[in-house]
Amino acid sequence: MVSNKYSTRRPKEKEMIFGIRAVMEAIDAGKVLDKVLLRRDMSSAIGRELVRKLEGTATPIQRVPVEKLNQFTDKNHQGVIAFLSPIEFTPLDSLVPALYDEGKVPLLMLLDGVTDVRNFGAIARTCVCAGVHALIIGTRGSAAINGDAIKASAGALHTLPICKVENLQNAIQYLRESGLRIVAATEHTERNYTEVDMTLPTCIVMGSEEKGIYEENLKLCTDRVRLPMTGVIESLNVGVAAGVFIYEAVRQRNRQSK
């Protein structure tokens, strides 16, 4: 049997929009798109018009071979498939001031390069259970927010504010200027995760299991801490590690309030 390197899970049609005009109409109608796949060799005038429209949004664009597009639908996609986001996103620059105005001490989670939808969903679920105020992700290099992610989150993604930002470095810098401590979970330190004060306004940053936090983002973090490892396996699943950090913040805040 010959394997198809473009084989992929086919989303339900209600999760997609295909066709150039249909996608442009969705953009004009204010639909929230998770991402758009464009045929790699598309060069028509109407195709360029679509690209110009997309460049005015935060929607990531991926150029792919037509075989990839054909895996998602048998219909005439005209070289374009857009994936609808099942949630609305919250602007970061309106979320943070609102938290302060409400008298809350912000506790945020930022994910850098976490692409597995099950880990992403599990982290979102933990955030809701622990009272984290929002989850921040990049428009690129992040898990797709689709039906699988919603299921993995046990519906938490419908209630947790999600901030999708174009540039994580700019987001971290904005949070620092807004008075948040930026706590990076990284193995490149000897400082224990219990040694940082997370009763202050805090954003916890988690990277992918394979690459960790991107170096340029790590440089902007105010604190670097690690989980102690004593076994032969040197790291935890990112969803589990995120839970440990989140509940350490909860423990500290609960202790302070007594």
Query: Per residue, what are the HEC states of the chain?
Result: CCCCCCCCCCCCHHHEEECHHHHHHHHHCCCCEEEEEEECCCCCHHHHHHHHHHHCCCCCEEEECHHHHHCCCCCCCCCEEEEECCCCCCCHHHHHHHHHHCCCCCEEEEEECCCCHHHHHHHHHHHHHHCCCEEEEECCCCCCCCHHHHHHCCCHHHCCCEEEECCHHHHHHHHHHCCCEEEEECCCCCCEHHHCCCCCCEEEEEEECCCECCHHHHCCCCEEEECCCCCCCCCCCHHHHHHHHHHHHHHHHHHHHC
Question: What's the pLDDT at 198?
Answer: 98
Share of the chain above pLDDT 70, in %: 93
Pick from 11-25, 56-70, 151-165 the range whose average pLDDT is largest. 151-165
Instruction: Using alpha carbons, list the distances in angstroms from residue 90 to 12, 136, 164.
Output: 25, 9, 7
150 or 175, which is more confident: 175
What's the pTM? Answer: 0.83
| pLDDT tens-digit series, residues 144-155 | 888 888 999 999
CA–CA distance, 85 with 68 (Å, rounded to integer):
20
**What angle (nearest 5°) sits at the alpha carbon of residue 226, between those of residues 214 and 208?**
35
Question: What's the pLDDT at 205?
Answer: 98
Q: Which domains does the chain have, with CATH numbers?
A: 13-84 (3.30.1330.30), 92-257 (3.40.1280.10)
Residue 150 has φ and ψ, to the nearest 5°, of -60, -45
Question: Is residue 135 over pLDDT 70?
Answer: yes
Question: Is residue 231 over pLDDT 80?
Answer: no
Mean pLDDT on 134-144: 91
Mean pLDDT on 105-123: 96
Question: What's the pLDDT at 233?
Answer: 66
